[in-house]
Chains A and B, each alone.
Chain A
Amino acid sequence: MSRFLKVLTVAAGVSLVAGAAGAGKLGLGTEATPEEIAGWNIDVRPDGQGLPEGRGTVAEGEVVFAEQCAVCHGDFAEGAGRWPVLAGGWDTLKSQHPVKTIGSYWPYLSTVYDYIYRSMPFGNAQSLTPDQTYAIVAYLLYMNDVVTDDEFELSNENFTSIRMPNEDGFIEDDRPDTPLVSEVEPCMTDCKDEVKITKRARILDVTPDEDGDTAGISVD
Chain B
Amino acid sequence: MSKSDRPEKGIASPSRRNLLKAGLAAGGLAATAGFARAAEPDPYNLPPNVADWSRYLGVGVDNAPYGMPSEHESEVVRRSVEWLTASRESSINFTPLHDLDGIITPNGLCFERHHGGVAEMNPTDYRLMINGLVDKPLIFTLEDLKRFPRENRIYFLECAANSGMEWRGAQLNGCQFTHGMVHCVMYTGVPLKYILEEAGLKTNAKWIMPEGGDAAGMNRSVPIEKALDDCMVAFKMNGEALRPEQGYPARLVVPGWEGNMWVKWLRRIEVGDQPWHAREETSKYTDLLANGKARRFTWVMDTKSVITNPSPQAPITHGKGQTVLTGLAWSGNGRITRVDVTLDGGKNWHQARIDGPSLPKALHRFYFEFDWDGSDLLLQSRAYDETGYVQPTKDELRAVRGENSIYHNNGIQTWHVMADGGVENVEIS
Contacts and interface: CB of A to CB of B under 8 A. Distances in A.
Q: Are chains A and B native binding partners rather than an unrelated pairing?
A: yes
Nearest to B283: A106
Contacts of B130: 29, 32
Given A173-B298, A180-B391, A197 B427 contact: yes
A183 B295 contact: no
Contacts of B82: 208, 212-213
Interface string A84-128: 100000000110101010100111101100110011001101100
Interface string A175-191: 11111111100111111
Contacts of A110: 277
Given A98-B404, A199-B426, A173 B340 contact: no
Query: Among B85, B211, B279, B416, which residue has the most Cβ atoms of chain A within 10 A?
Result: B279
A170 interface: yes
A133 B62 CA distance: 55
Given A122-B90, A169-B294, A201-B424, A37 B340 contact: no
Q: What is the interface of chain B mostly: helix, strand, loop, or mixed? A: loop
A98 B346 CA distance: 33
Nearest to B31: A210
A191 B390 contact: no
Interface in A23-45: 25-26, 28-32, 36-37, 40-45
A181 B397 CA distance: 12
B171 to A, nearest CB: 6
Given A199-B169, A201-B173, A94 B291 contact: yes
A45 B347 CA distance: 52
A208 B294 contact: no
A126 B348 CA distance: 57
A29 B139 contact: yes
Contacts of A180: 389-393, 396
Given A105-B283, A220-B161, A208 B80 contact: yes
Contacts of B276: 43-45, 114
Contacts, number: 293
Nearest to A19: B149
Nearest to B392: A178
A26 B277 contact: no
Interface residues of B, number: 110
A181 B349 contact: no
Contacts of A220: 84-86, 90, 92, 161, 284
B193 A22 contact: yes
A29 B138 contact: yes
A40 B286 CA distance: 26
Contacts of A204: 169-171
20 contacts: A22-B197, A29-B199, A30-B139, A31-B136, A31-B137, A40-B211, A43-B276, A94-B292, A122-B90, A170-B296, A186-B349, A187-B349, A191-B347, A197-B378, A202-B424, A206-B172, A207-B172, A210-B33, A213-B81, A220-B85
Given A43-B278, A180-B390, A191-B347, 9 more contacts: A22-B191, A25-B200, A31-B138, A32-B129, A41-B268, A172-B295, A179-B392, A191-B346, A201-B424
